[in-house]
Amino acid sequence: MKIKNLFVLGMFLVAILALSGMASAVITVEEVKLDGDVLDPSSENEIRSIEKGDEFNVKVKITSDVDVDDVQIEAYLRGYDHDDRIEDITSVFDMKVNRTYIKTLTLKFPKRMDQAQYTLRVEAAGRAGIAGVETYDLDIETGRHDVAIKDVIISPANGVKAGRALLATVRLQNYGADNEDDVRVTFSIPELGVSASDYVDEIEGDSSSSSEDTKSTEELYLRIPACVDAGEYDAVVEVRYHDGDKTARKEMTIEVFADDTCEVEGMGAEPSVGKTIITIGPESQDVTKGAGGVIYPVTITNTGKSSKTYAIGVTGGDWGTFSVKPTNVVTVSGDETKTIYIYASATENAPAGSQVFGVEIKSGDKTVEEVTLKANVVDNGAGSLSLKRVLELGLIVLVVILVILALIIGFNKLKGNDEDKEEGESYY
């Protein structure tokens, strides 16, 4: 009986020793560094001050007095009322007794978190419940100058057609401690060479209790150039503040749709290259048959970005001959204008009067312009010289008449003077 009691007592003592061993098994957080600086635990009454809006590496050194499987280390702050939580956790790893393990986590302190005191908790725990926890007090502050682009509202939101207007409203948030005056906001699409700017007079600091730490610009107006290539373009919002020393920047993509009024190249070619503008000089001119000719200038303007090749053809009756100078095929680069000349002359047997001929301008297989021009054929020799002679004779007759009138006026004046003399002599 005594032996049995002694056996039970021995088992009881073994159980107590086992339980006490399990109770003493613990993971210890030896050291925590925040971006290389060692943090002091909260129990030592030191509060570390850091600026929000930054990202920090948290390096944790831990040990264990027993072997522990499936350990994870977690660092986190609580009391931040947004979905982007301030926390990070390592992958699972195993620990051996009396060995030191160092793991690095990353915490981002959002700009919109309140300026206040937070507790950083670092916890290491295994699957079986063996854990170690340490806390550190952090005083979250803000920098003096920190303006951020909170939102950009684009209208129309889904894209804009080439040649139309694009409106942008920029929402700004001042996360800095100081008020910011004369904040300049610029919205631009560099590839299209368009931009617009506006000033926000004042944005109060984040420490202010009012809601004036958030301001919006007036609508920024951009006109997309006509006939630009359809596609996506990079747009940039840039904010300059604190006398231009500080900047904030946001990039986005703007969808530009093709302008239906612009020409589009055939399949397999470049996208829309813009309009072709054709300007032709006088549509009707006098031409003397059998003697020289007249010139019709044709100006071709390519408003697109890529080059185009044009072929100029002339069709007319047997009343005249036609040629295109310097060549009937011309290449016009993007945003360039070139002029070619159509020479028309009438044959000696051409009938007098109004005659017509056609001009066709093509780019590839597409006809860009068709126009009908006129030539007023006049007779050679007598016909043409008679008009010139009539003008010359008319001028001569006019001169003769003026001379005769001058002589008559002169003679009459002399005659009047002679009569005055005779009357005066008889009087005396």
What pLDDT is attached to residue 21? 47
Q: How confident is the model at residue 177 (pLDDT cuts 50, 70, 90)?
A: confident
Lowest mean pLDDT across 74-83, 130-139, 372-381 = 372-381
Lowest mean pLDDT across 111-115, 205-209, 253-257, 384-388 = 384-388
What pLDDT is attached to residue 223? 86
What pLDDT is attached to residue 184? 94
Assigned token pair, 8: 């039970």
Assigned token pair, 46: 């030191």
pLDDT of 101 above 70 = yes
Tens of pLDDT, residue by residue over 203-224, are 888 765 556 778 899 989 888 8
Distance CA(413)–CA(410), nearest Å, equals: 5
pTM of the complete model beyond 0.85: no
Contacts of 30 by beta carbon, 8 Å cutoff, 6+ apart: 61, 62, 63, 100
The fold of 147-257 is Immunoglobulin-like (2.60.40)
Contacts of 125 by beta carbon, 8 Å cutoff, 6+ apart: 27, 71, 72, 74, 131, 132
What are the structural domain ranges in the chain? 25-141, 147-257, 276-378, 385-409
Distance CA(284)–CA(369), nearest Å, equals: 18
Based on its alpha-carbon atoms, the radius of gyration of the chain, rounded to whole angstroms, reads 48
Assigned token pair, 112: 């919109």
- Which class is domain 25-141? mainly beta
Fold match flag (25-141 vs 276-378): yes
The CATH code of the domain at 276-378 is: 2.60.40.2310
Assigned token pair, 154: 């684009």
Q: How confident is the model at residue 75 (pLDDT cuts 50, 70, 90)?
A: very high
Name the range with the highest mean pLDDT among 88-102, 200-214, 301-315, 388-402: 88-102
Length, in residues, of the chain: 428
Q: Which percentage of the chain shows pLDDT scores above 70?
A: 79
Q: How confident is the model at residue 232 (pLDDT cuts 50, 70, 90)?
A: very high
For 215-234, the DSSP string reads EEPPPEEEEPPTTPPPEEEE
Tens of pLDDT, residue by residue over 253-309, are 999 998 766 654 433 334 444 678 888 877 788 888 887 788 888 888 888 778 888
